[in-house]
Amino acid sequence: MQRFRPQARRALCCFSLTALLFTFAVWPQDAAAQRAGSAPAPPDISGVYESIANGRVLPGGLKNSGSPGEIALLPSALEQMKAVNPKDDPWRMCQPIGQFRMMAREHTIIELDPATGRMGMLFEDVAHGLIRFIYLNRGHSGRPTVGADPNLTFSPFSWLGDSVGRWEGDTLVVDTIAFNTETWLNDAGARHSEALHQIERIRPILGGKFLEYKMTAEDPQALAKPYTYTRYFEKLDAEIGDDICLDEE
């Protein structure tokens, strides 16, 4: 076997030791965190998902349940709904319809994208779904104020509200407030107030092939009682498409 010259051996030793030191310096931090007993990393739920059809039954008897059409309205909200012109449905005009209606629909396609301090929820049907940022590093009171830039005048109320999230084990719990009142709660035209409060619980099931999604809405000025529905989203091995809304005016 060929022997190395002393200078070459020293150079190789230096290179090898440097490579080893570098490698261990940047070794994934998870192992250290696990040894220290810190909380396990949340599950990776990134990907593209589509809500399953009503009536489809998943292993374990899991299936969609509940519907925005079943909400119980306060008398004043019921009267308001009766006066609504169906032609004013935001859906017909390619306007955002709010996550309470959007997530309940069959074949809604979403993309979940975790990034630093937030989870992006993007809809293939951009016009009706828009985009959601779920902030994981602050509460509602920590929302950066408009005063940070005097040129901007954002309203505190918006189509999809202010969403903050936290992980409870394998479940992402999303709390949303500060909605504007442009959206409807169902196809029949049930309106809501700015007091609308939504809580969503999202977790991977069946080996990550599906998401279980539970939506609860409460609004003391419109709903007689809180309402919860459940949907299941199937993970797709596909990129999200480009869905263009053409309004029905």
Partner 1 sequence: MRLYLLWIGTLFAMANAPAAAAPDWTGFYMLAGARDLAGLKVVTPNLNKTVVDHLQPWAKLKMETSNGDADDTGAVCMAAGILRAPGSPFSSAFSVLPSRDKVIMPYWEINTSRVRRIYLNRQHPKNLTPTWNGDSIGRWEDDTLVVDTIGFNDKSWLTGNMAPHTEETHLIERMRQVEANGNTFIEVVGTVEDRKALTSAYTYTRYYKKQKIEMDVHACAEAVIWYKQWRNDALKKEYDRAREVK
Residues near partner 1 (CB under 8 A) are 4, 9, 12-13, 15-17, 19-20, 22-24, 26-28, 46, 88, 90, 93-96, 113-118, 120, 122, 126-127, 130-133, 135, 143-146, 148-149, 152, 154, 158-160, 182, 239-240, 242, 244-247, 249
Nearer to partner 1, 20 or 57 (CB): 20
Q: Shortest approach of partner 1 to residue 181 CB, angstroms?
A: 11
Question: Distances in Å between the alpha carbon of 58 and those of 67, 126, 215, 233?
Answer: 18, 28, 19, 11
- Contact 107/50 with Cβ under 8 angstroms? yes
Distance linking the first and last C-alpha atoms of the chain: 84
What is the DSSP code string of 158-183? BSS-EEEEEEETTEEEEEEE-B-S-S
CA distance 174 to 110: 16
Nearer to partner 1, 14 or 57 (CB): 14
The amino acid at 233 = F
Q: Shortest approach of partner 1 to residue 231 CB, angstroms?
A: 21
CA-based radius of gyration for the chain: 24
Query: CA 87, 177, 213: angle at the middle one, nearest 5?
Result: 80
* Tokens read off for 218: 């409460």
Nearer to partner 1, 56 or 92 (CB): 92
3-state secondary structure of 81: helix
* DSSP code at position 124: S
Q: Shortest approach of partner 1 to residue 133 CB, angstroms?
A: 7
Q: Shortest approach of partner 1 to residue 226 CB, angstroms?
A: 24
Q: Shortest approach of partner 1 to residue 183 CB, angstroms?
A: 10
Q: Shortest approach of partner 1 to residue 123 CB, angstroms?
A: 9
Nearer to partner 1, 162 or 219 (CB): 162
Phi, psi dihedrals of residue 209, rounded to the nearest 5°: -80, -15
Q: Shortest approach of partner 1 to residue 155 CB, angstroms?
A: 8
Residue 148: how many CB atoms within 10 A of its CB? Answer: 7
Nearer to partner 1, 73 or 130 (CB): 130
> Which residues face 235 on adjacent strands?
49
Nearer to partner 1, 66 or 167 (CB): 167
Nearer to partner 1, 74 or 245 (CB): 245
Region at 87 (left for phi over 0; alpha for psi -120 to 50; beta for the rest): alpha
